Amino acid sequence: MTKKEETMDRERFAYLLDAYGADFRRWPAQARAQAAAFAAQDAEAAALIGEARKLDAVLDGARDEAGPSADLAARILAAAPRAQRPAFDRRAMLALAACAVFGVLIGYGGGMLAPAPAEDDSYFSMAFEAPSFEDEG
């Protein structure tokens, strides 16, 4: 909001014209109707507008209508965030890891709980028993 917007006199009209140019569409919304009414009834307004319009026309002549180059949008979009597929992958990885841990635990725990085999090492002691030489000689 500007200090000078309450009434539209020549000073305020020239002030806004200086800032925004001759096209009232660029003016503050609340000043447009007042500006148009003032321009219609003030003798000097047309000359002031004419001066501002010259600069507008010069500036508009330099308006660059060429858009961005063809591949710029593609380059920008190539860097855009991608949907997070890892949300599923992470769950799958966690499930796999849980299965692996569970499998190890079952394997280890099962081994611990299984009845120990009877300790029959007679074959061992027999194998290493000192040979008897009674029959020899």
Q: Which residues of 100-123 are buried (b: 16+ CB within 10 A; e: fewer)?
A: eeeeeeeeeeeeeeeeeeeeeeee
The structure tokens listed for 131 are 């040979």
Is 63 an interacting residue with respect to other proteins (CB under 8 A)?
yes
Closest CA to 39 of 8, 18, 6, 15: 8
Among positions 2, 9, 33, 94, the unique one binding other proteins when judged by CB under 8 A = 2
Give the distance, in angstroms, between the CA of residue 84 and the centroid of all CA atoms in the same chain. Answer: 12
Length of the chain: 137
Is 46 an interacting residue with respect to other proteins (CB under 8 A)?
no
Instruction: Report in angstroms how near the CB of residue 93 gets to other proteins at its nearest.
Output: 19
Instruction: Report in angstroms how near the CB of residue 75 gets to other proteins at its nearest.
Output: 6
Is 79 an interacting residue with respect to other proteins (CB under 8 A)?
yes
Is 25 an interacting residue with respect to other proteins (CB under 8 A)?
yes
**Computed from CA positions of residues 29, 54, 37, 42, in that sequence, does the dihedral angle turn out positive or negative?**
positive
Among positions 37, 46, 47, 57, the unique one binding other proteins when judged by CB under 8 A = 57
Footprint of other proteins on this chain (CB under 8 A)?
1-3, 15-16, 18-21, 25-29, 53-59, 61-64, 66-69, 72-73, 75-77, 79-84
